[in-house]
Structure 1
Amino acid sequence: MIDGTRRTRMRLTSALGLGLAAALALSACAAPESGPTTGTDGSSSLMLAADNGSPTFVKNFNPFVIEKRTASTIINEPLMVVNALDGKSTSFLQTDYTQPDAKTIVSDIREGVIWSDGEEFTAEDVVFTYNLLKEFPALDSTGVWSRLESVSAEGLKVTFTLQAEDSSAPITVLAVPIVAEHLWADVKDPVTFTNEDPIGTGPYTLGDFNANQYKLEKNADYWQADKVAADELVLPAANSQLDVVNNGYDWAYAFMSDVENTWVAADEGNQYWFPAAGTVAIAPNLTKAPYNDPNFREGMSLALERDSIADNASEGTVGAAGQQGLLLPTQDEWLTDAIPDKGMVAQDTDAAEAAFAKAGFTSKGGKLVDADGVQAKMTITTPNGWTDWLRAVQEIQKQYVAIGIDVKINQPQPAAYFQAVQNGDFDVAMTSFGGNGSVYQGYYNLLSSDFLQPIGTTAPSNYQRYSNPEVDRMLTEFRTTVDADRQKELAGELQEVMYNDLPVISVYYAGLWGLVSDKSFTGWPDADNPYMTPTPYTSAALVVLTTITKANG
Structure 2
Amino acid sequence: MSLNTGMRRRGAGALAAAASIGLLLSACSGSSGNGGTGDPSTLVAYTGQAGDYQINFNPFSPSKIGGLGTIYEQLFFYNKAEVAEPVPLLGTEQAWNEDGTELSLTLREDVTWSDGEAFTADDVVFTFEMVKENPSINSGGFDGEVTAVDDTHVTFTFADPAFVKGPDLMGNTPIVPEHLWKDVNPVEDVVEKPVGTGAYVLDEFKPQAFTYQTNADYWGGEPEIKNIRFVALSGNQAGADAIAAGTIDWQTGPIPDILNTHENFPNYDAYTQWQNQMTLSTCSSAEMGCEGPQTDPAVRHALYYAMDRTQLNNLAFMDTAAAESPAFTLTPSQDGFVSDAVEEKTVPMEPDPGQASQILEEAGWAKGEDGIYEKDSERLSLTVEVVTGWTDYITALDTIASQAAEAGIEVKSSQSSWNEWTEKKGSGSYELVIDSLWQGPAPDPYYVYNYFFDSSSGAKVGESAGNNYARYNNPVVDEAVAELALIDPEDAEARQPHFDTIQEEIVRDMPYIPVLTGGTTSVWNTSKFSGWPSDDDLYAFPAVWSAFDAAEIFKRLEPQG
Fold-level match, TM-score > 0.5?
yes
Opposite residue 534 of structure 1, the aligned amino acid is P
* Deviation (angstroms), 1:527: 2.7
* 1:305 paired residue number: 308
Counterpart amino acid of residue 196 in structure 2:
G
Write the letter of the residue equivalent to 1:485: E
SS in 1 for 2:179: helix
Cα distance in 2, alignment partners of residues 191 and 283 from structure 1: 23
Aligned residue type for 1:542 = A
Q: Cα 1:311–1:487, aligned 2, differ >3 Å: closer, same or farther?
A: farther
Task: Give the CA deviation at 1:371.
Answer: 4.7
Task: Give the CA deviation at 1:39.
Answer: 4.2
Q: Which residue of 2 aligns with 1:544?
A: 553
Deviation at 1:432, TM superposition (A): 1.7
Between the aligned partners of 2:128 and 2:231, the Cα distance in structure 1 is 32
Paired residues of 2:476 and 2:502 also in contact (CA < 8 A): no
CA deviation vs aligned residue, 1:298-318 (integer Å, no higher than 9, x gap): 222222222222222311011
Q: 1:208, CA displacement in angstroms?
A: 2.4
**C-alpha distance in structure 2 between counterparts of 1:166 and 1:210, whole Å:** 43
The equivalent of 1:292 in structure 2 is 295
1:350 to 351, 354, 365: 354
Question: Which residue of the partner structure matches residue 6 of structure 1?
Answer: none
Q: Which runs of 5+ in 1 are unaligned?
A: 1-8, 14-34
Q: Tell whether 2:228 aligns with 1:233.
A: yes
> How many angstroms does 1:10 deviate by?
2.6
SS, match of residue 526 in structure 1: coil
Contact 2:132/2:143, CA 8 A, preserved across alignment: no
Who is 2:427 aligned against?
A: 423
Deviates more, 1:115-124 or 1:430-439: 430-439
Q: In 1, distance between residues paired with 2:296 and 2:265?
A: 52
> Structure 1 residue 51: deviation in Å?
6.5
Structure-to-structure mapping, 1:426-445, within 5 angstroms:
426-436=430-440, 437-445=443-451
For residue 505 of structure 1, give the secondary structure of its aligned residue in structure 2. Answer: strand
Match of 1:387 among 386, 391, 405: 391
Asked if structure 2 preserves the Cα contact closer than 8 Å seen for 1:532 and 1:543, the reply is: yes
> What does residue 363 of structure 1 align with?
367
Q: How does 1:73-84 map to 2 (within 5 A)?
A: 73-84=69-80
Partners of 2:317 and 2:392 within 8 A in 1: yes
User: Does residue 204 of structure 1 match 2:200?
Assistant: yes
Given that 2:367 and 2:408 are in contact with CA atoms closer than 8 Å, whether structure 1 keeps it comes out as: yes
1:500/1:72 CA distance change after superposition, 3 Å:
closer
Distance in 2 between the 1:396 and 1:542 partners? 35
Aligned residue in 1 for 2:132: 134
Q: What is the identity, as a one-letter code, of the residue corresponding to 1:527? A: D
Q: C-alpha separation between the residues in 2 aligned to 1:379 and 1:208?
A: 38
Q: Which amino acid aligns with 1:127?
A: V
Q: Match for residue 3 of structure 2?
A: none
Residues 78-477 of structure 1 mapped to structure 2, 5 A cutoff: 78-86=74-82, 88=84, 89-100=86-97, 101-138=99-136, 140=137, 142-144=138-140, 146-155=141-150, 156-174=152-170, 175-185=172-182, 187-225=183-221, 228-238=223-233, 240-261=239-260, 263-265=261-263, 267-286=265-284, 287=286, 288-345=291-348, 346-371=350-375, 374-436=378-440, 437-477=443-483
Distance 1:545 1:399, change over 3 A: same
1:534 aligns with 2:529: no
**CA distance change for structure 1 residues 180 and 373 in 2, over 3 Å: closer, same or farther?**
closer
Measured after TM superposition, the shift of residue 374 of structure 1 is 5.0
Structure 1: how far apart are the matches of 2:190 and 2:376?
50
Aligned residues, how many?
Answer: 515
What residue in structure 2 maps to residue 18 of structure 1?
A: none
Please say which of residues 359-368 and 434-443 is displaced more in the overlay: 359-368
Deviation of the 1:458 alpha carbon: 1.0
Matching residue of 1:70: 66
**Mapping of 1:37-76 within 5 angstroms?**
38-40=36-38, 43-50=40-47, 52=49, 54-76=50-72
The RMSD of aligned alpha carbons is 2.4
Question: How far apart, in 1, do the equivalents of 2:173 and 2:376 lie?
Answer: 51
Which residue is 1:29 aligned to? Answer: none
Output the CA distance in 1 between the equivalents of 2:52 and 2:482: 42
Give the CA deviation at 1:481: 1.8
1:338 corresponds to which letter in structure 2? A
Aligned to 1:489: 497
C-alpha distance 149-120 of structure 1, shift in aligned 2 (>3 A): same
Indicate how the Cα distance of structure 1 residues 245 and 205 shifts in structure 2: closer, same or farther if over 3 A, else same.
Answer: same
Question: 2:274·2:518 contact (CA, 8 Å) conserved in 1?
Answer: yes
Deviation at 1:153, TM superposition (A): 0.8
> For structure 1, which segment, 251-260 or 522-531, has the greater mean C-alpha deviation from structure 2 after superposition?
251-260
Alignment deviations for residues 50-75 of structure 1 (CA, whole Å, 9 cap, x no partner): 362x5212222112112112245411
CA contact (8 A) 2:48 2:251 kept: no
The sequence identity of aligned pairs, in percent, is 26
1:546/1:379 CA distance change after superposition, 3 Å: same
